[in-house]
Amino acid sequence: MAHKTLLGSSTSHDSCLDLWREKNDQLVRQAKVAQNLSLSLRRQQLVQDVLEGLRGLLHSLQGLPATVSVLPLELTVICNFITLRASLAQGFTEDLAPDIQRGLERVLETQEQQEARLEHRLRGLWDSVLHVSSLLPELLPALHHLAGLQAALWLSTDRLEDLTLLLQTLNGSESSASEELLLLLKTWRPPVETSDAPLTLQDARSLRDVLLTAFAYRQGLRELITGSLPRALSSLHEAASGLCPRPVLVQVYTALATCLRKMGKPQRALLYLVEAVKGESIWGPPLLEASRLYQQLGNTAAEIESLELLVEALSVTHIPEAPQLLIEVELLLPPPDPASPLHCGTQSQAKYLLASRCLQTRRVEDAAEHYLDLLALLLDGSEPKFSPPPCPPGPCVPEVFLEAAVALIQAGRAQDALTVCEELLSRTSSLLPKRPRLWEDARKGTKESPHCSPWISAIYLLQGQAWVQLGAQKEAVSEFSRCLELLFQVTPKDKEPGPASSCEHGCTSDVVLQQLRAAALISRGLEWVAGGQDNKALQDFLLSVQVCPGNQDASFHLLQTLRRLDRRDEAIAFWQRLEAQTDLPQENATWSLPLYLETYLDWIRPPDREALLEEFRTSLLTCDLK
């Protein structure tokens, strides 16, 4: 074949062009063969060969001065090359831009408009090229194809202004008034390639359809997140009505359901979700959305059931099919973002969600079981595959342990709760400040307070509560005292010289520390009450009111104890202060507390607050009547 590569006459030029064309067509056919192969190594090699072949062909084409007769082929080869590279890399990245730019410069070379490329970047190049191409109609199909790839690149890199301008130019003057990108994409008609044109991996029209769907979906998702719901609804409808592979359709339906739920139309949302889970593909996002929907509707049973299904669905490892060697909608979707409403996380994250919802909705038995499952999932090293902890969007790992202990205590399994707490302590013991010396120092009254995470105090608090449940008063009181000792050593300003958990900053707030102190004091006070030592109890309750003035529970406990001790005047004075406080608008103090603490505070809440208040009111009245 070597003799044909000489460019002596026009006939050999033609034959050379034919040769290159034949090479391109053969490579495209080879890629289509590789597409249908299942064996992935063989397939990969074949695809790599095609890629190298296209690269080589492009090298030889671009080694010669650009001519109008060869350019359609050259642009087609560039398009095939970019399509293959993008589909192999599963995404459009900036490193494809130079290939496009080179192609455009080659077009300008034929027009001797070299100066244009010095002045402009891609945007300006396209302007010049499309201006030139009006003189060269034979280039138009290939140029539109290349423009489609450019559009895909700009869509992926979120350069929507450039994209709008490009489409306006492509559509010609009649629609240049329109700013709406969706409309521009719809009205763009890439010219049909003639039947004798060189083969392509994907034609410009199908690329246009892919762009349309991908753009509508991206825009809909963006509007959904920013909260412009009606617009999001229409964009997502547009995406769903377009050319849409099944996995993408599931996501579109889920997004539609989210949108409708937020708009207050749960029944229609449910219809979309049913549609979404019908297929054989991914169930994660629709199931998560379903649980949110049921939560909003107040249907706890259905909510928990959806979450259970979600955990099950996520335990199936999804083996993706070998990607198509084309630009598909999936390639142009935004990268997965944990903040997106469609993010369904991993199995252990779903498990955590399930467990914590059970705990919140007082399904204590289930909650305990789910938490134990979750811990097993996280800690069992012999599992063939890891499952990540639910952080960072969820709580940090120590908090998961604490919630598990809380759930166990609530389910009446105090012994198990103690085990969990001990496990947590043993695993983190090396990170604690050196204990013996510190204890010594603390006894000696050293001023320096060692850093200690609040969750370590919380372990002792829960251990105490477990002992309470087991009826071991002495152990309980000693755990509570230990907890208090630690808590009062911590100054909130004392930040992080030691090992930090991934989200410790979130739970070291002053409020948490205050509430922990109050909880520990009340708990110990209650134990004193149970042991009949009302004076000691009174002391603790008084202290807890001082430590955390906003905590009404402490006040009630104090009130009750005062009454029991028959210190009536003090009780009435205190009650009056309390009444005045209750009249004030109550700020919700428990609002940002971790789940374990919130649940714990529920436990030590006096059961008959209203009755007590009523009793006081009446007794006061009788007092006045006397």
Partner 1 sequence: MAGLAPRVEYLAGFCCPLGGLAAGKPRVLCHGAEIFLSTGSELVYVYDRDGRLLTAVYKFPGRVWHLELLALGRALYVLCARSGIYCLSLDQDGRNDRDNQDGEAGEPPAPVIPVDPGACVLPDATLCAFTVLDNVLVALAQGPAQWKLQLFERPCPGQDPRPGGQIGEVELSTCTPPSGSLGEPAAPCFLPVLCCASPPGPGVPHGHVQGSGGVTLEEALFGLLFGADASLLESPVILCGLPDGQLCCVVLKTLVTSRSAPGDPKALVKILHHLEEPVIFIGAVRTEPLAEATGDAHSDCLVALGHHGRTLAIKASWDEVGHLVPELREYCLPGPLLCAACGEGGRLYHSTPSDLCVAHLAQGGSPWDPMQPTGLSVCSVVTLSVSSRAPEGSTELLALSARGRLMTCLLDPHSEAPCPTRVTVANAGRKIKELLSGIGTVSERVSSLKKAVDQRNEALACLNEAMNVSCALLSSREGPRPISCSVTPAWSRLQLQDVLTATCLLENSSSFSLDRGWALCVQVLSSARALDLDSAGSAVTYTIPLDQLGPGGRREVTLPLGPGEDGSLDLPVTVSCALFYSLREVLGGALAPRDPFEEPPSEECPPGVLPEQEGVCLPLSEHTVDMLQGLRFPGLAAPPVRAPGQLGPAGDPVHTFLQTCRGPGGQLAGPESLRAKYLPPSVATIRVSAELLRAAFGDSHAGGPLCSATLQWLLAENTAADVVRAQALSSVQGVAPDGADIRLIIREVSVTDLCPAGPLQAVEIQLESSSLANMCRAHHAVVGRLQRLVVQQAARGSSPPDLRLQYLHQIQANHETLLREVQTLRDRLCTEDEAGSCATAQRLLQVYKQLRSPSLLLL
| List of residues contacting partner 1 (CB under 8 A) | 39-41, 44-45, 48, 55, 58-59, 81, 85, 89, 93-95, 99, 282, 284, 314, 317-320, 322, 335-336, 338, 343-346, 378-379, 381-382, 384-389, 391-392, 396-398, 401, 424, 427-431, 433-434, 437-438, 441, 448, 450-451, 453, 497-502, 504
Residue with Cβ nearer partner 1 (2 or 41): 41
Q: How far apart are CA 233 and CA 256, in angstroms?
A: 6
Find the angle CA(240)-CA(242)-CA(244) to the nearest 5 degrees.
75
Q: Please say which residue, 330 or 369, places its beta carbon nearer to partner 1.
A: 330
* Number of Cβ atoms within 10 Å of the Cβ of 214: 28
Minimum separation from the CB atom of position 57 to partner 1 (A): 11
For 597, phi and psi rounded to 5 degrees? -75, -40
Euclidean distance between CA atoms 521 and 443, whole angstroms: 21
Nearest approach, Cβ of 499 to partner 1 (angstroms)?
A: 5
Query: Could you tell me the smallest distance in angstroms from the CB atom of residue 49 to partner 1?
Result: 12
Report the distance separating Cα 499 and Cα 428, nearest Å: 10
Minimum CB separation of residue 380 from partner 1 in Å reads 8
- In the complex with partner 1, the residue whose CB is nearer, 335 or 585, is 335
In the complex with partner 1, which residue's Cβ is closer, 320 or 607? 320
CA–CA distance from 262 to each of 180, 229, 296, 302, 608 (Å)?
A: 25, 8, 10, 19, 38
CA–CA separation, 297 and 121 (whole Å): 54
- State the Cα torsion 400-405-407-409 to the nearest 10°: -170
Name which of 337 and 602 has its Cβ closer to partner 1: 337
Beta carbon of residue 486, minimum distance to partner 1 (angstroms, whole number): 13
The length of the chain is 626
Is 336 or 607 the residue whose CB approaches partner 1 more closely? 336
Nearer to partner 1, 9 or 426 (CB): 426
Say if residues 338 and 346 touch (Cβ distance below 8 Å): no
| Minimum distance, C-beta of residue 418 to partner 1, in the bound complex (Å) | 18
Shortest Cβ 318–partner 1 spacing (Å): 6
Q: Are 491 and 431 in contact (CB under 8 A)?
A: no
Q: Of 41 and 118, which has the nearer Cβ to partner 1? A: 41
How is 37-48 classified by DSSP, letter by letter?
Answer: ---HHHHHHHHH
Q: Give the CA distances from residue 164 to residues 224, 359, 490, 527, in Å, rounded to whole numbers and listed in that order.
A: 22, 51, 58, 71
- How far is residue 533's CA from residue 477's CA, in Å, rounded to a whole number? 12
| Distance separating alpha carbons of residues 423 and 399, to the nearest angstrom | 13
Determine contact, residues 367/411, Cβ cutoff 8 Å.
yes
Shortest spacing between CB 579 and partner 1, in angstroms? 45
At closest approach, how far in Å is the CB of 513 from partner 1? 18
Residue closer to partner 1 by CB (options 127, 441) is 441
